[in-house]
Chains A and B, each alone.
Chain A
């Protein structure tokens, strides 16, 4: 199918883009990589009156590090660049690890960091990674700008805290504390499809190997990236062991996620898979934290 008729605006500056957002407000959708928006428009699940194309807006495609070690990303950075960027690989290996799981290379060549975050698909990898890494998101409009924690950004299915006139312009990922290890894993029925389940683990250990902080976040397990707070807390104060990973994985998969059964797998299987993947992710994250 083809999309419903829409107006197309191609601003050549951020100010122009923000002005267009202000002018068209609720009726407008910013177009980034178009890898989710265009298909839903073709299915007519979305029928924006105006498309504001950000591809001609300069200054949104940078990756830079500030003195406190935080990595900053313009919202239009392509996913394929994140996948290959040496700064990302060095400072945010979790992000680099998750990237190859996003669909196929052709899609990552067009798809953007900010576009995926704003689309807010709970089965997508980038929202989960941002939540797991305590990422912050910068929203800007003609009247000002604000930063919001990724975790607070997601409110429900495909829904975020972004205002009608706001643009997502930047993402900031703080440096990982010393002694931190990360891991991401997921399983799809077919390579490149949305995963049946997936988990990011971020753990920090002290000099003696005791866990001081832990975070577990799941995709395709609820309406937003699902943070298993209580389960992760079980790790704190403990030394890593097969037993504690299993207990944590059971608690997280039973109590803190809400996967739905579909034609590909039962909800029961998805919980089981989340448990298995949690153990694998924790094992790997702790191994990396130790190094």
Chain B
């Protein structure tokens, strides 16, 4: 049996003492240094490229361009993106840069300085093409950005459930809104870095930070036209990912560099480290999106119908956009049973930075629309936001908009009730001040921030609540499995246990949790478990660390492998080796017409309540308290879970209030952490109360569900609801910058 235990992170001592090696720290003898040359062109056709001046720089070893790439196209949703934009490659579409962050060359030199100097000397002649910088412009299809696709609509899904006319007829109130959701940058601590070389078995080897070693291997092998066995991916320590390291950054170019140098008789490792600016410039973002939506409800607060049109900016290349759109499409109606639904969702190609995976994966955008609609309905109908949710949330046997029930273990109602209770919020107590009465006895939150107290007459206190669900694991028919190998060593007694697994510890602590689960599954003390992790040469495919899936998937794989190993142990095998591939219940893609499908095999449920103060004169918002109730099924390591909740809340706080990526005509204008503001320690909510709930998932390992994305989802809509409670004004667009808040409050006056 597994006991919940807050053991310390096994990677903590190395990180605290500085012994841990991140990819950028690995400095073998004879190291060469690489620089990626970006196109800096949101939309332009390459006419000519001259690298002769760059090649003449002393210390330059090689400059690789499009013609050096065997298969010049890659991507998680299909090979749509050139590894290197340029002339003379196998890809007829590779001469066009569709994004300012497209790569055009790799410069390899004896020193970083020489590489940088050579980079600046590469001459490229471009023919400018029209830059499609907005979804409205893209939808006209006047300029097709991806000619092989034939339209700027990359993907469309629809849902048709029930009888819309009847649904609107039954409604006593119909509420229509348009929501604008912004980009978000992952801002992980460690910018992209990696090292490429040929290993002792002749394999093209890349050590890099990623989220799915075997997918990286597949992408590298494809682009280099090598069998997968000829490519090896190793993950050293990884400094954060949040979905931002799910797509390729340096993986392929480092592999390419190692391979081409080797062919030229140069067997030296190559390292590339991106600066923060290159990182913000060079990887995808949370999708910006617009949601047009209409909700109908009876006067008792029962939802009768929802229609929605989702426009999601997927940028220049697909990345994981079709899958993100799938989630968005499902989440835009919230964790509610909606009898009649009509949803059209579009992923739209533009010349902007690609959208892609980011904690919540389309869920936060959908949740913002659904939860804000729910809060507006509660206000309009005079029902408490808690009660209206309890009238509509999914319960056992409820049907989703895709007309199938969520799997058993649906805890949404319990989670909402618990959150409301912990936050001291029930229908009797609820009375927002609606922006009418100033708070007289309010303690200034400014303390160290403000020298002067705010004008008490301009401070308004408010609170808000929101809830969400989020799938665990890959959805909509995507192949889903996870493998584990467990070896039991010893003679009469078990002396040690080895777990071989590919899971990426991106900082969330998954290796610690896997070790705990391996110990529990074999029935030994954790100290006897050794890990051999994240190396495609020794571990089998685990799938990605994404979709809040690894604890669930790896836990089940470990249980299977442990059982097999224990059986072998009983048969006197020494060492006793067990391999297991866990395959969860199957899922299905959306039906093209109606959207009917079985979308997911597991969900996690979460609710958050927020208390905050708005200074209505300055527009500044101070979040005092967030209560997060999160059903994790079974808490393997409560301390790690609290870390995930607090981290998600802080990241969502930035999304709701501060983070403002400015993208104009396909160009990011603020690719710096001095200009793109993420919250600091004095900006984050003063109190985050984590309420860990354990309603078992019947098919989760020891009942566990995924949990790491969930606390991100409800925070922004809960904050918006609290700001409405405080000021009487609804905000349909975030981030709530002081400038935006004041402008909107003045409109009201």
Which of A's residues lie within 8 Å of B, judged by CB?
A: 97-98, 100-101, 183-187, 189-193, 196, 263-266, 269, 272-273, 276-277, 279-281, 283-284
Return 10 A-B CB contacts under 8 Å, by A number: A98-B451, A183-B452, A185-B450, A187-B450, A190-B680, A191-B449, A192-B680, A196-B738, A273-B738, A284-B452
B742–A189 touching, CB < 8 Å: no
Q: Which residues of B contact A263 (CB under 8 A)?
A: 660, 662, 669-670, 675
Indicate whether A276 sits within 8 Å of B680 (C-beta atoms), given known contacts A189-B738, A196-B738. no
Knowing A189-B658, A269-B738, the reply to whether A280 touches B682 (Cβ < 8 A) is: no
Given A97-B451, A190-B680, A273:B618 Cβ within 8 A: yes
Q: State the CA gap A260–B2 with chains docked (Å).
A: 60
Residues from chain A with a CB closer than 8 A to the CB of B448 are 100
Instruction: Give the contacting residue for A276; candidates B449, B617, B679; CB below 8 A.
Output: B617
Given contacts A263-B662, A265-B737, A276-B618, contact A184 B680 (CB under 8 A): no
- Asked if B682 and A192 sit within 8 Å, CB to CB, the answer is yes
Q: Mark B666-706, 1 if CB is under 8 A from A, else 0.
A: 00011000010101101100000000000000000000000
Given contacts A185-B452, A276-B618, contact A190 B743 (CB under 8 A): no
B737: A residues at CB distance < 8 A: 189, 264-265
- Closest A residue by C-beta to B616: A276
Pick the most buried of B450, B455, B618, B682: most chain A CB atoms within 10 A of its CB: B618
B434 to chain A, nearest CB (A): 22
Within the complex, what minimum Cβ distance (angstroms) separates B542 from chain A?
38
> Whole-angstrom distance between the alpha carbons of A183 and B452 in the complex?
8
- The smallest C-beta distance from A82 to any residue of chain B, in angstroms, reads 14
Q: How far is the CB of B131 from chain A (nearest CB, A)?
A: 20
Give the chain A neighbours of B625 by CB distance below 8 A. none
Does B527 make an interface contact (CB < 8 A)? no
Contact A190 B452 (CB under 8 A): no
A272 near B452 with CB under 8 A, answer no
In the complex, how many angstroms separate the beta carbon of A249 from the nearest chain B beta carbon? 11
- Say if the beta carbon of B441 comes within 8 Å of chain A: no
B451 touches A187 (CB 8 A): no
**From residue B452, how far is it (CB to closest CB) to chain A in Å?**
4
A187 touches B682 (CB 8 A): no
User: In whole angstroms, how far apart are the Cα atoms of A97 and B446 in the complex?
Assistant: 14
Assuming A192-B680, A192-B682, is B675 touching A187 (CB within 8 A)?
no
Other than the known A276-B617, A281-B452, what 5 A-B pairs have Cβ atoms closer than 8 Å? A100-B448, A190-B680, A191-B449, A264-B737, A272-B742
Chain B minimum-CB-distance residue to A198: B451
Closest chain B CB from A128 CB (angstroms): 13
Q: Are B679 and A190 closer than 8 Å at their CB atoms?
A: yes
B120 close to A (CB within 8 Å): no
Question: Across the interface, which residues of A come within 8 angstroms of B680, CB to CB?
Answer: 190-192
A186 to B451, CA, bound (A): 8
Per-residue contact bits, chain B 588-630, to A (CB 8 Å; 1 contact, 0 not): 0000000000000000000000000000011110000000000
Q: Is B739 an interface residue (CB 8 A)?
A: yes
User: In the complex, which of the residues B451, B669, B739 contacts A265, with contact meaning CB atoms closer than 8 Å?
Assistant: B739
Residues of A within 8 A of B738 (CB): 187, 189, 196, 265, 269, 273
The 5 closest A-B pairs by CB, nearest first: A191-B682, A265-B739, A269-B739, A185-B452, A276-B617
Q: Which residues does chain A contribute within 8 Å of B619, judged by CB atoms?
A: 269
User: B654: nearest residue on chain A (CB-CB)?
Assistant: A190
- Considering the chains assembled together, what is the distance between the CA atoms of A193 and B677 in angstroms? 10
A189 to B451 alpha-carbon distance, docked (Å): 15
Contact (Cβ within 8 A) A190 B683: yes
Kindly provide the distance from the CB of A138 to the nearest chain B CB, expressed in whole angstroms: 28
Given contact pairs A98-B451, A196-B738, A280-B452, A187 touches B618 in the complex (Cβ within 8 A): yes
A283: B residues at CB distance < 8 A: 455
Q: Which residues of A contact B682 (CB under 8 A)?
A: 191-192
A189 to B683, CA, bound (A): 9
Of B620, B662, B679, which is within 8 A of A187 by CB? Answer: B620
CA distance A110 to B432 in the complex (A): 47
Contacts of A277 in B (CB 8 A): 618
A201 shortest CB reach to chain B, Å: 10
Assuming A263-B670, A273-B618, A280-B452, is B658 touching A190 (CB within 8 A)? yes
What is the CB-to-nearest-CB distance from B454 to chain A, in angstroms, rounded to a whole number?
A: 8
B440-458 interface with A by 8 A CB criterion: 448-452, 454-455
- When distances are taken between beta carbons in the complex, the residues of chain B under 8 Å from A284 are 452
Closest to A280 in B: B452
